[in-house]
A = this chain, B = another copy of it.
Amino acid sequence: MNAQATDARPRDREATRERILCAARTLFGEQGYERVTVRMIAAAADANVALVGRYFGSKAGLFGAVLDGEPTFGDLFGGDFEGLPRRLAEYAAARMEQPPESPILRTLERSAGHPEVQAVARERLMTAVLKPLEERLDGPDAHARARMATGTLIGIGAMRRRLGPEKPTPADVDRLTAVFEACLKVSPA
């Protein structure tokens, strides 16, 4: 038997790269860009620190790669327009209840820091959330309405982060639905 099974791992650039990316996704999602160090990521991925630099160029590059891999909100926004506020409400409620894996919003809302990352974060926020939502909206003020709904989503996440998760009641989901309806409505009352 060649050495022990514990420290034997086949050399595999792709697999290692993937481990690093996965660890980064989790940690960035949990703690945001600034608080996560490349050493933490490397340790979580059981890889060497230098490999982060080699495979992703820099910490910011790795962050960008993480964002690139995040799913779009197409499925959320895609259905019928009538049910959109309710779907957003249910998504937000789910986010309220438990720390999510590491969706784009959480990562972004946690990474207000380095200006280097602000650019990529803002660009991603626009292309992945704001723009798709905006394109779903008819009538005037589509941008402002999409912006308000996005802001509400972010705010709910921020609150959960500050005050801890909270199990939403059915009344909460109803209220959230009303809030998103108010956000997206063309002319308020």
The chain A residues found within 8 Å of chain B, CB to CB, are: 32, 34-35, 108-110, 112-114, 118, 121-122, 125-126, 130, 140-141, 144-145, 147-148, 150-156, 158-159, 161-163, 166, 168-169, 171-172, 174-179, 181-183, 185, 187-189
Task: Indicate if the CB atoms of B126 and A144 lie closer than 8 Å.
Answer: no
Task: Indicate if the CB atoms of B179 and A182 lie closer than 8 Å.
Answer: yes
CA distance A155 to B181 in the complex (A): 16
Task: Indicate if the CB atoms of A174 and B188 lie closer than 8 Å.
Answer: yes
CA distance A168 to B187 in the complex (A): 14
CA distance A163 to B171 in the complex (A): 32
Task: Indicate if the CB atoms of A169 and B144 lie closer than 8 Å.
Answer: yes
CA distance A112 to B179 in the complex (A): 25
Task: Indicate if the CB atoms of B174 and A113 lie closer than 8 Å.
Answer: no
**Which residue on chain B has the smallest CB distance to residue A32?**
B112
CA distance A94 to B153 in the complex (A): 20
Task: Indicate if the CB atoms of B159 and A147 lie closer than 8 Å.
Answer: yes
Task: Indicate if the CB atoms of A153 and B155 lie closer than 8 Å.
Answer: yes
